[in-house]
Homo-oligomer: A and B are copies of this chain.
Amino acid sequence: MARIWNFSAGPATLPVSALERAQKEMLDWAGTGMSIMETSHRSKEYDQVHNEAADSFRQLLKLDDDFTVLFLQGGASQQFAVLPMNFLPAGGSADYVNTGVWSKKALAEAKVLGNAREAGTAGPDFTSVVRKDGLDLDPNAAYVHFTSNNTIKGTQYYEIPDCGSTPLVCDMSSDFLWQPFDANRFHMIYAGAQKNIGPAGVTVVLLRKSWLEKANQDIPTIFKYGIHAENNSLYNTPPTFAIYIVRNVLDWVKAEGGLEAMERRNREKGDLLYSAIEAHGDFYRCPVEKGSRSFMNVVFRLPTEELEAKFVAEAKAAGLSGLKGHRSVGGCRASIYNAMEKAGVQALVDFMEGFAKTNG
């Protein structure tokens, strides 16, 4: 087996133990004589996996009893529409904090469905998050929506600002579970799995059941959060294999020591990489303001685009994959989610030092 270091922004690297478990059980899992992919979602065997995954979120985040844990489909992009379908009331309005492209997409979908407004922006450059003093909140908003981490620009909230009593909703797709945090402050948290917690194809939604009383009822059944909550995400066939992998990933998180261990690991990796960039400040440059620099997606530039292309190609040849920046902004980007080992970041830093020496 020749594994490389995979710095892709998502789908992204997964814990080897989660994959090995899936490999071992692929044709016969838990003594059932079949793959979990072939197992009925109505069986008691599958039910156990499904509930283990949900319970792990509850445990890791110390969720209070008002929360339901849903496994849905369609990625965060689908939640951009399903959230306002459920919680943007006729005649009401919702606030969206604009920290970049994903926030903008969420706002645009809400505007198709009702009234929504930009409640602060990090534009035009999006090289920082929007802090409390940059927020322009409507006290009557149905909810206020944040995006915790911007994969493209490499910015991250270390803590979501206080917004008073307005229900707080957050898209945490790209940094969910990167550190301990007070999930009970939120009315809803959602995350496409394919960055920090599993494969593409499942979206985790943590939602206050008490909020469901306010949900719109004149929408298709399949898009009602309430229906999925009542049916423990088994109203229709869920993406069983993707949920199984999420279960495996969460078991790995717990075995590593939980969210405290994730934070320690992530801060070590981020500090190592940002320090290397600073140490070669004549060659590498991070355009993101200190205090908003993401511990998940580290973006950096080289002196020229030619050198950036050369860097990405030579890194790939050296077993360091996925370092090209998002096509909309160029440059370089190292995504170092929970599952990236410190040894991978060390290998990248070593490569960067050599590359700067040769090409600087």
Contacts and interface: CB of A to CB of B under 8 A. Distances in A.
A14 interface: yes
A220 B109 contact: yes
Nearest to A81: B220
A38 B80 CA distance: 24
Interface of A: 1-4, 6, 8-14, 16, 19-20, 22-23, 26-28, 31-35, 37-43, 73-78, 80-81, 85, 105, 108-109, 112-113, 192, 194, 199-202, 218-223, 235-242, 245, 319, 321-322, 327
A81 B43 CA distance: 27
Contacts of A20: 26-27
A22 B24 CA distance: 11
Main secondary structure of the interface of A (DSSP, over half): loop
Given A73-B73, A220-B112, A222-B78, A241 B19 contact: no
Given A4-B34, A13-B38, A74-B236, 4 more contacts: A4-B32, A8-B40, A19-B35, A109-B221
A23 B27 contact: yes
A10 B237 contact: yes
B27 A1 contact: yes
B112 A218 contact: yes
A287 to B, nearest CB: 22
Among A75, A238, A245, residue most surrounded by chain B Cβ atoms (within 10 Å): A75
A19 B13 contact: no
Contacts of A221: 81, 105, 108-109, 112
Nearest to A327: B42
Nearest to A201: B239
A217 B276 CA distance: 49
Given A75-B236, A77-B222, A237-B75, A39 B27 contact: no
B239 A38 contact: no
Contact of A11 (B28, B41, B242, B319): B41
A91 to B, nearest CB: 18
Contacts of A240: 11, 199-201
Contact of A38 (B6, B33, B219): B6
B80 A192 contact: no
23 contacts: A3-B33, A3-B34, A4-B32, A6-B34, A13-B34, A23-B23, A26-B26, A33-B321, A34-B321, A37-B200, A37-B245, A42-B327, A74-B74, A75-B236, A77-B237, A105-B221, A108-B221, A109-B220, A112-B218, A112-B220, A113-B220, A200-B239, A241-B242
B322 A74 contact: no
A75 B77 contact: no
A11 to B, nearest CB: 6
Given A33-B2, A109-B222, A238 B200 contact: yes
A194 B237 contact: yes
Contact of A41 (B80, B200, B238, B239): B200
B73 A192 contact: no
Contacts of A81: 220-223
Nearest to A221: B109
Nearest to A238: B200
Contact of A242 (B19, B235, B239): B239
Nearest to A219: B112
A19 B37 contact: yes
Nearest to A112: B220
A241 B22 CA distance: 13
